[in-house]
Chains A and B, each alone.
Chain A
């Protein structure tokens, strides 16, 4: 009968002669809440409120949404792909800075020197911070955390053509705001368990099995903003993301190798102690360490352990 529901009702209900109480057979409903345009759902009706769950991650979602440059943020299509590995390998990746200059050499080769410099953040002033509940943020480019600040900074050469086109229709300050939004935020926000607000796009994870994961890279743009700026965003997304981008296939290859490496034996240590030696606590209680620290991974695994052990004990 579940199948019949998909067709919009129960056919020939008289066949049940009073033994069918449809009010007792509803579809499963989820607890659904929204924050700043992001919709979350849970099968657990007794789970804490979304407001409490997101907690100290909320200001970072607000900062991420500044990529609308004054317009609402809209989605502009997505790349969807799978890799033959466990979902937590990708979960680790979002706030992992130190893989970037190694795994993404060929991407860095394909951009100009100024952009290479922007992405040379592993030795920089950025940081990784534990935001509670398994969430974490990695700030790679501190000057691009708040896109409304530093609008007088020089426009990067790679956006000079876009800025010149925009200047025909928009005042200088708005041109700068749009161009900064197009370049994306200077941080990756990892929301446990499966959503990342990653610089300039959304990443959604879906475990298909222990050894297979589906990943969606959702492009974002300015809803009502200039088409030429949104098109530059699309080209930037295609350049790095997705199964034919210059970045994603190399990430997928690395995750594939991590998965195969994990089969080497049960007693092999997985080191997650990078940055632990100089990790400190902010006034609000958040742990933080340098940009290449594994603080974000430790945050995610702590929450994963809570989820797994509570479920196991229930």
Chain B
């Protein structure tokens, strides 16, 4: 049986909840060992390895990112930014019993140092069915303003 849209939504909204509430160690477990978390600059790029991105994280870099956010040794993350994100407009693009790809919209609001920033993004996911259930093999955060000047983002989009 193909992976259902409902199963996929359950996983990625769980991820959104964990990221807003700082459950970063649990967040790491949502990915496959070969999984990637990517925030590209170029809106059209697919071959992320060949170009400069804001973030192109394999398992090792994701773990380092989490250590950094929780260490208290990064002045941009201590105190951390607070975020609220909403996911919506889900569409399953392809699904089988082993994997699926879907995309959705993400509206995120960040509060840090008394300043509010908004980041709208299209999220593209590739999910894979593993022995431990459905996992994230690829998450691509395509920020609406990716080619504009951003401000520091010391959290996970």
Contacts and interface: CB of A to CB of B under 8 A. Distances in A.
B149 A106 contact: no
B4 interface: no
Contacts of A109: 67-68, 71, 73
Contact of A254 (B64, B73, B75, B115): B75
Interface stretch (A14-22, A182-190, A235-243): A235-243
B154 A249 contact: yes
Contacts of B42: 77
Contacts of A79: 41, 52, 54
B152 A253 contact: yes
A111 to B, nearest CB: 9
Given A231-B50, A238-B52, A249 B76 contact: yes
Interface stretch (A33-41, A80-88, A125-133): A80-88
B56 interface: yes
A120 interface: no
A109 B157 CA distance: 22
B84 interface: no
Contacts, number: 93
A250 interface: yes
A84 B151 CA distance: 9
B55 interface: yes
Nearest to B68: A106
A176 to B, nearest CB: 24
A253 to B, nearest CB: 4
A256 B75 CA distance: 11
B97 interface: no
Contact of B74 (A77, A80, A234, A249): A249
Contact of A105 (B52, B64, B73): B73
Nearest to B157: A244
A114 interface: no
Contacts of B50: 227, 231, 234
Interface string A8-37: 000000000000000000000000000000
Interface in A106-129: 106-107, 109-110
A276 interface: no
B95 interface: no
Contacts of A223: none
Contact of B54 (A83, A243, A253): A243
Interface string B77-100: 100000000000000000000000
A243 B151 contact: yes
Interface string A51-82: 00000000000000000000000001111111
Interface size class on chain A is 35 or more
A110 B149 contact: no
Contacts of B53: 234, 238
A219 B75 contact: no
A244 B74 contact: no
Nearest to A227: B50
A214 B71 contact: no
B79 to A, nearest CB: 11
Contact of B76 (A110, A234, A253): A253
Interface in B59-75: 61, 64-65, 67-68, 71, 73-75
A227 B71 CA distance: 34
Residue of A83, A106, A107, A238 with most partner-chain B CB within 10 A = A106
Interface of B: 39, 41-42, 49-56, 61, 64-65, 67-68, 71, 73-77, 113, 115, 148-154, 157
23 contacts: A76-B51, A76-B52, A79-B52, A80-B148, A83-B152, A106-B68, A106-B73, A107-B68, A109-B71, A109-B73, A110-B67, A234-B51, A235-B56, A238-B52, A238-B53, A238-B55, A243-B152, A246-B68, A249-B153, A250-B75, A250-B154, A253-B76, A253-B152
Given A81-B152, A227-B50, 8 more contacts: A76-B51, A105-B73, A105-B74, A106-B68, A237-B52, A244-B55, A244-B153, A252-B152
Interface of A: 76-84, 103, 105-107, 109-110, 214, 219, 227, 231, 234-235, 237-239, 242-244, 246, 248-250, 252-254, 256-257
